[in-house]
Chains A and B, each alone.
Chain A
């Protein structure tokens, strides 16, 4: 069992209560497929990710990266294939994984007519966090939004909203972070600000969707590259995929 991370210690989470899969893998997918209507979006995706490791997911627009992330987050059901996340077989036992996943998608998942503090408290209560006030104050301080806590979410800028979404994502000290372009709308300073919360330093299993293949590959243990038609172009060690190869997948030459 890994030692509790800084994020888990801060939220009072016992890592013994958040086991990985039976084989020690945080994510196991076999021949995963997802269709929307008759249109296959993701085809024959198989991967294994050990607990504590980082997987970077690369691919051109429409390759199914966000769809894969939503399936891992229990928000979409696979059309076919087997999927196990944090030891829970999906979609049948999705309830076992929910609450242990931190999902940062394209939407911040924050109610716009609540203040930032109210919106995060709402999520903290859904996740039955003890002492949410202290945890929220700590996170807002960490991302430089402490002064904005009383501001309505709808009045935040895109970059502030993304930082707030990062706080929401890690609020409950999840064992698995699913990050869909986490640097979106963030300036370089803000990227550094959120790094301790969602970067490698967070010390939890991570799946990161990014178009920054150089930075993404450098910060990952494993890589999954998808072609525009949703098939797998590469699955393996991140070190085995060069930025040049990744670029050729984007341009359709691989």
Chain B
């Protein structure tokens, strides 16, 4: 627990000090909404299209943070430092998952109001949607932390991370779309089948968090 807190504290402190990920993610999201707004030539979206625009934007904004997640560990010897310490290396995994989750949360605090202002006539679905996004964030963070670790040890990391990550995230995105679509339906949110998709999201999150926790030590071995 101490190692987890130490690593997480370091990550959040460095991000607050350098602002290397969060501003880029927020700017990317807002810019993407502008592109969709003019690209689709629509002032309002609902249902599956609204869910798609929001989730694709969150997904690619998350990629920016995932690509940078282990830059300091790779370039500044953090991996070596942690392997020299008497710690369970899954603390590193847990800290990175929570850090990424926090980044995505902050992103959505900025991006959701912009999304609502640009595209939604009725914003009553945003509150339940926040719950769905929390599960999406957890899935992105768990899978992203594992894949980013693999990528960090490769020379082709900028290419490898999205190439491995995106296929793995397809089930998450399908479930997220299924859960978000009725919440963004025209005329206000409906809750048909939301429970099924939320269950799928939770199962996905649990699976990847457990797999990450189980294999993380091996990922860091030489």
Residues of A bordering B, CB below 8 Å: 73-77, 91, 95, 98-101, 103, 105, 107-114, 118, 122-123, 125-128
Contacts and interface: CB of A to CB of B under 8 A. Distances in A.
A81 to B, nearest CB: 15
Nearest to B3: A126
The residue among B3, B17, B84, B86 with the most chain A CB atoms within 10 A of its own CB is B84
B6 interface: yes
A19 to B, nearest CB: 15
Contacts of B72: 111-113
Contacts of B83: 74-75, 98
Interface centre among A76, A98, A126, by most chain B C-beta atoms within 10 angstroms, is A126
Choose among A76, A111, A122, A127 the residue with the greatest number of B CB atoms under 10 Å from its CB.
A111
A171 to B, nearest CB: 10
A112 B71 CA distance: 12
A98 B222 contact: no
A114 B221 contact: no
B127 interface: no
Nearest to B5: A125
Interface residues of B, number: 22
23 contacts: A75-B222, A77-B221, A91-B221, A95-B86, A98-B83, A98-B84, A98-B86, A99-B84, A99-B85, A105-B77, A107-B80, A109-B76, A109-B78, A109-B80, A110-B77, A112-B72, A113-B14, A114-B14, A118-B10, A118-B13, A123-B85, A125-B2, A126-B82
A111 B221 contact: no
Contacts of A105: 77, 80
A98 B78 CA distance: 15
A111 B14 contact: yes
Given A111-B14, A126-B85, 19 more contacts: A73-B84, A74-B84, A76-B222, A91-B221, A91-B222, A98-B86, A99-B84, A100-B86, A103-B80, A105-B77, A107-B76, A110-B76, A111-B10, A111-B72, A111-B76, A113-B18, A122-B6, A126-B81, A126-B87
Interface in B78-96: 78, 80-87
A76 B221 CA distance: 8
Interface string B203-222: 00000000000000000011
A200 to B, nearest CB: 23
Contacts of B84: 73-75, 98-99, 101, 103, 109
Contacts of B77: 105, 107-110
Interface in B8-65: 10, 13-14, 17-18
Interface of B is mostly: helix
A123 B82 CA distance: 9
Chain A interface SS verdict (over half): loop
Contacts of B87: 126
Question: Which of the listed residues B6, B13, B18, B85 has the most CB atoms from chain A within 10 Å of its own CB?
Answer: B85
Contacts of B85: 98-99, 123, 126-127
Nearest to A103: B84
A113 B17 contact: yes
A116 to B, nearest CB: 14
Nearest to B87: A126
Nearest to B91: A126
A193 B78 CA distance: 26
Contacts of A126: 3, 6, 81-82, 85, 87
Contacts of A113: 14, 17-18, 72
B183 to A, nearest CB: 39
A76 B13 CA distance: 30
Q: Which 7 A-B pairs have the closest CB atoms?
A: A99-B86, A109-B77, A126-B85, A125-B6, A107-B77, A109-B81, A113-B14
Contacts of A73: 84
A232 B214 CA distance: 40
B10 A114 contact: yes
A220 B157 CA distance: 42
Nearest to B82: A126
A75 B81 contact: no
